[in-house]
A and B are shown apart, each in its own frame.
Chain A
Amino acid sequence: EAEVAQSPRYKITEKSQAVAFWCDPISGHATLYWYRQILGQGPELLVQFQDESVVDDSQLPKDRFSAERLKGVDSTLKIQPAELGDSAMYLCASSLAVSNTEAFFGQGTRLTVV
Chain B
Amino acid sequence: GDSVTQMEGPVTLSEEAFLTINCTYTATGYPSLFWYVQYPGEGLQLLLKATKADDKGSNKGFEATYRKETTSFHLEKGSVQVSDSAVYFCVQAGNMLTFGGGTRLMVKP
Contact partner of A91 among B32, B44, B46, B95, CB < 8 A? B44
Q: Are B99 and A43 in contact (CB under 8 A)?
A: yes
Chain B contact residues, CB within 8 Å of chain A: 31-32, 34, 36, 41-46, 49, 51, 89, 93-97, 99-102
- Chain A residues within an 8 Å CB radius of B93: 99-103
CB distance from B2 to the nearest CB of A (A): 11
Q: Are B41 and A48 in contact (CB under 8 A)?
A: no
9 interchain residue pairs of minimum CB distance: A105-B43, A105-B44, A42-B99, A108-B43, A100-B32, A107-B43, A42-B102, A99-B95, A42-B101
Contact partner of B45 among A41, A45, A105, CB < 8 A? A105
- Chain B residues within an 8 Å CB radius of A4: 43
User: Which of the four size classes fits the interface of chain A?
Assistant: 20 to 34
CB distance from A23 to the nearest CB of B (A): 11
Q: How many A-B residue pairs have CB under 8 A?
A: 51
Contact partner of A102 among B42, B43, B46, B99, CB < 8 A? B46
A91 to B95, CA, bound (A): 20
A41 to B9, CA, bound (A): 12
Q: Can you name 7 A-B residue pairings with CB atoms under 8 Å?
A: A6-B43, A42-B99, A42-B102, A43-B89, A105-B45, A107-B42, A107-B43
CB distance from A88 to the nearest CB of B (A): 13
CB distance from B89 to the nearest CB of A (A): 6
User: Would you call A106 an interface residue if the criterion is a C-beta within 8 Å of the partner chain's C-beta atoms?
Assistant: yes
User: Would you call A56 an interface residue if the criterion is a C-beta within 8 Å of the partner chain's C-beta atoms?
Assistant: yes
Q: Are A102 and B32 in contact (CB under 8 A)?
A: yes
Q: Which of A28-75 contact B (CB under 8 A)?
A: 33, 41-43, 45, 48, 56
Q: Are B97 and A41 in contact (CB under 8 A)?
A: no
Q: Are A42 and B95 in contact (CB under 8 A)?
A: no
A34 to B44, CA, bound (A): 13
User: Would you call A110 an interface residue if the criterion is a C-beta within 8 Å of the partner chain's C-beta atoms?
Assistant: yes
Give a binary string over A82-114; 1 marks a CB under 8 Å from any B CB, 0 the rest. Answer: 000000000101000011111111111010000
- Chain A residues within an 8 Å CB radius of B51: 100
